């Protein structure tokens, strides 16, 4: 991606109406914008239209000007929309308990610039990863959580999120159930990694359940967090093949890699604006050109 020509993104959701694609592309063309990548989906079951476009403003139009001039189309088609610069790093809070593989993977990807995020803090109910996190220059917040102090602990967690200006919370194997209130406050802005190929084997011991059923594939699921445990809209999934010879500990070890990859891909899709909520499901568009490039070699 050339530094003097940033990629801009336009996200649109609206009722399914004839002519919306033509109207959007004509709007950008008339203002000297060159479309580099476009994806759209018209969901007949929900009567909703989804579109994501990456483009370059080759005649110097600012996002503020484009957003202002786009308002007549917003009103005409009843759109929810967002313009943003792909170089903008989203502020993210990571939450972790005692399994560190996802945390370490995200710290590495963040360190080489493979994820356009700004990790503004890590919250944990344990002290296991304090030195690792602080060694990266990231604030580490230890908040002990018990049945007796859960309300106060979540209030402190939300205070940290607000103070840091975080747009997204990532549960990188955080093994505490969030309250309905916290899920509602951050609706559509909490991503979890579940060590199972949902909807099968929900709950706290999915690998043990999978072993007892003799499955031949295990996997991981990244999804939005809702008040319904492990029922949030799914963003990303993947699997790894196993055999009858594997033990429950093998399942856990094999699962670490797929969990880390699935969570990273879900975050990548979210921060690039590729994920759209569609009732209890998601629309996830393919990545754009250059979106996987890193700032440094690593």
109 and 223 together in one domain:
yes
pLDDT, tens digit, for every residue of 77-119?
Answer: 999 999 999 889 999 999 999 999 999 999 999 999 999 899 9
Specify if 290 maps to a domain.
no
Task: Give the number of residues written for the chain.
Answer: 298
Query: Is the pLDDT reported for residue 298 higher than 60?
Result: no
Q: What is the reported pLDDT for 1?
A: 45
Please say if 279 is a catalytic residue: no
18 and 105 together in one domain:
no
Specify if 2 maps to a domain.
no
Query: Is the pLDDT reported for residue 295 higher than 80?
Result: no
Tell me the average pLDDT of the chain.
Answer: 92
Lowest mean pLDDT among 54-58, 78-82, 122-126, 192-196: 192-196
Specify if 294 maps to a domain.
no
Point out the catalytic residue in the list 37, 80, 85, 230: 230
Q: What would the mean pLDDT of 244-258 be, rounded to a whole number?
A: 90
The answer to whether the beta carbons of residues 97 and 275 sit under 8 Å apart is: no
> Strands, E, within 174-252: which ranges?
190-194, 217-224, 234-241
Lowest mean pLDDT among 47-56, 217-226, 251-260, 288-297: 288-297
162 and 209 together in one domain:
yes
pLDDT, tens digit, for every residue of 205-214?
Answer: 887 887 888 8
Does the pTM surpass 0.95? The reply is no
Specify if 242 maps to a domain.
yes
Q: What would the mean pLDDT of 44-57 be, rounded to a whole number?
A: 96
81 and 211 together in one domain:
no
pLDDT, tens digit, for every residue of 212-235?
Answer: 888 888 889 999 999 887 789 999
Residues 6+ apart with CB under 8 A from 4: none
Q: What is the reported pLDDT for 297?
A: 62
Q: Could you give the number of structural domains in the chain? A: 2
Query: Is the pLDDT reported for residue 196 higher than 90?
Result: no
Specify if 122 maps to a domain.
yes
Tokens of 263: 């969570």
Q: What is the reported pLDDT for 2?
A: 47
105 and 50 together in one domain:
no
170 and 99 together in one domain:
yes
178 and 242 together in one domain:
yes
**Taking Cα atoms as reference points, which of 64, 77, 75, 61 lies closest to residue 29?**
61
The answer to whether the beta carbons of residues 285 and 39 sit under 8 Å apart is: yes
Q: Domain range for residue 79?
A: 8-85
pLDDT category of residue 198 using cuts at 50, 70 and 90: low
Q: What is the reported pLDDT for 214?
A: 86
Cα separations in angstroms, 11 against 86, 94, 272, 273: 12, 25, 10, 7
Specify if 297 maps to a domain.
no
250 and 124 together in one domain:
yes
CATH of the domain at 139: 3.40.50.170
The answer to whether the beta carbons of residues 33 and 53 sit under 8 Å apart is: no
Q: What is the reported pLDDT for 294?
A: 79
């Amino acid at each position: 991606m050339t530094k003097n020509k940033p990629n801009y993104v336009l996200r649109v959701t609206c009722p399914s109406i004839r002519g919306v694609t033509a109207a959007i592309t004509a709007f950008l063309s008339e203002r000297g914008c060159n479309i580099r990548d476009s994806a759209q989906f018209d969901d007949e079951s929900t009567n909703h239209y989804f579109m994501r476009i990456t483009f370059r403003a080759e005649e110097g139009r600012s996002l503020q000007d484009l957003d202002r001039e786009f308002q007549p189309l917003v009103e005409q088609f009843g759109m929810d929309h967002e313009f943003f610069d792909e170089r903008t790093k989203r502020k993210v809070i990571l939450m972790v308990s005692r399994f560190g593989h996802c945390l370490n993977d995200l710290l590495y990807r963040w360190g080489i610039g493979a994820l356009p995020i700004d990790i503004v803090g890590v919250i944990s109910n344990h002290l296991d990863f304090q030195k690792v996190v602080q060694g990266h220059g990231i604030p580490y917040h230890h908040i002990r959580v018990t049945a007796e102090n859960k309300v106060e602990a979540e209030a402190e967690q939300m205070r940290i999120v607000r103070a840091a200006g975080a747009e997204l919370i990532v549960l990188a194997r955080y093994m505490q159930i969030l309250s309905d209130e916290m899920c509602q406050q951050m609706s559509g802005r909490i991503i979890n990694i579940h060590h199972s190929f949902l909807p099968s084997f929900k709950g706290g011991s999915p690998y043990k359940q999978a072993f007892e059923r003799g499955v031949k594939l295990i996997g991981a699921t990244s999804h939005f967090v809702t008040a319904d445990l492990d029922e949030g809209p799914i963003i990303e999934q993947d699997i790894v093949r196993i055999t009858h010879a594997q033990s429950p500990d093998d399942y856990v070890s094999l699962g670490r890699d797929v969990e880390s990859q699935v969570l990273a891909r879900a975050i990548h899709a979210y921060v690039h604006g590729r994920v759209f909520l569609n009732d209890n499901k998601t629309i996830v568009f393919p990545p754009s050109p250059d979106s996987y490039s890193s700032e440094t070699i690593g």
